[in-house]
């Protein structure tokens, strides 16, 4: 049986750990509210922008913009959005494993597959497995639209230059505090559905300026918005996952403290009983 001193030391250590996990849970809970508000605010805009884009591009003959160009897909770029920090359960590992499975499934169909990572955890996972096209770390503490626009412009430039023929976005979509959905989304080429598929009753519009000029503005903007939304979704999901993980860790620490306290009391009782037996034995030997 472990000594009283070692058990007491473990109890103190677990209590200190519990204080840390409780503090991390409170911090994530405070940050989650703002992150969730940002996601809820961004979703309607991103959805409506997509609808406008589909309305513009649907049923138009020919490729009115390079981002609508359909090529033979030989080079794939997978953009993976993870967090910069850990201690959030399976938030990053589940996403990275899904990305790894996706790449392995697609390897036979593409001549080249490269990865762009947004977040340090994704880079740590993929850098030893695949070619990292570019990594962006330490930008998710306070995600801003300017950073998303910069990343989007780099992706657009690479697509137009022919560095890759297809771009897929992988991120954790925030659903609830306790759950996130692993989401794959094709960024490029932009999929233009027909007007009939977009709305039940197609409406003809007269555009001023021309459709081509509007697409030149809206297509890059749509990529920027989708990247920014994925960053917001990931940040909200990260805080929710960390809050859940730290709550579970705090409960486990409390259970461990209870078990160690019981073990300590039993060891202390055994030590006292042993001392009493020694005293009684000594007393009996003196009397004898």
| H-helix segments, 134-200 | 145-160, 195-198
Out of 68, 78, 80, 88, pick the active-site residue: 88
What stretch of H or E contains 101? helix 91-106
d(CA 111, CA 108): 8
CB within 8 Å of 251: residues ≥ 6 apart: none
In three-state secondary structure terms, 57 is helix
Nearest in space to 130 (alpha carbons), one of 155, 112, 118: 112
Strand (E) or helix (H) holding 134? strand 131-136
The answer to whether 73 and 242 are in contact (CB under 8 A) is no
The DSSP code for 202 is -
Other C-beta atoms closer than 10 Å to the C-beta of 59 total 15
The number of residues making up the chain comes to 288
Catalytic annotation on 96? no
Q: Distance between CA 73 and CA 156 in Å, rounded?
A: 16
Phi first, then psi: what are they for 93, rounded to 5°?
-65, -40
Q: Which residues are catalytic, by number?
A: 88
């Amino acid at each position: 049986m472990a000594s009283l001193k070692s058990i007491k030391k473990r109890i103190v250590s677990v209590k200190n750990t519990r204080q840390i996990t409780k503090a991390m849970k409170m911090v994530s809970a405070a940050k989650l509210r703002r992150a969730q508000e940002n996601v809820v605010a961004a979703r309607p805009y991103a959805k409506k922008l997509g609808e406008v884009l589909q309305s513009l591009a649907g049923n138009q003959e020919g490729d009115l913009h390079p981002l609508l160009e359909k090529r033979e897909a030989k080079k794939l770029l997978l953009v993976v959005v993870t967090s910069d920090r850990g201690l959030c359960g399976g938030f990053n590992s589940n996403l990275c494993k899904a990305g790894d499975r996706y790449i392995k499934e697609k390897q036979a169909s593409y001549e080249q597959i490269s990865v762009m990572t947004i977040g340090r955890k994704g880079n740590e996972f993929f850098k030893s497995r695949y070619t990292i096209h570019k990594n962006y770390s330490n930008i998710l503490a306070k995600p801003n639209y300017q950073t998303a626009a910069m990343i989007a412009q780099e992706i657009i430039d690479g697509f137009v230059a022919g560095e890759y023929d297809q771009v897929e976005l992988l991120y954790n979509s925030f659903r609830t505090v306790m759950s996130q959905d692993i989401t794959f989304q094709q960024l490029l080429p932009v999929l233009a559905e027909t007007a009939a598929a977009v709305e039940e009753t197609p409406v003809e519009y007269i555009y001023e300026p021309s459709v081509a000029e509007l697409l030149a503005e809206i297509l890059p903007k749509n990529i920027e918005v989708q990247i920014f939304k994925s960053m917001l979704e990931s940040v909200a999901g990260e805080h929710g996952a960390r809050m859940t993980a730290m709550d579970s860790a705090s409960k486990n620490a409390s259970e461990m403290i209870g078990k160690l306290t019981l073990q300590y009391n039993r060891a202390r009782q055994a030590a006292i009983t042993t001392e009493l037996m020694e005293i009684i034995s000594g007393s009996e030997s003196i009397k004898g």
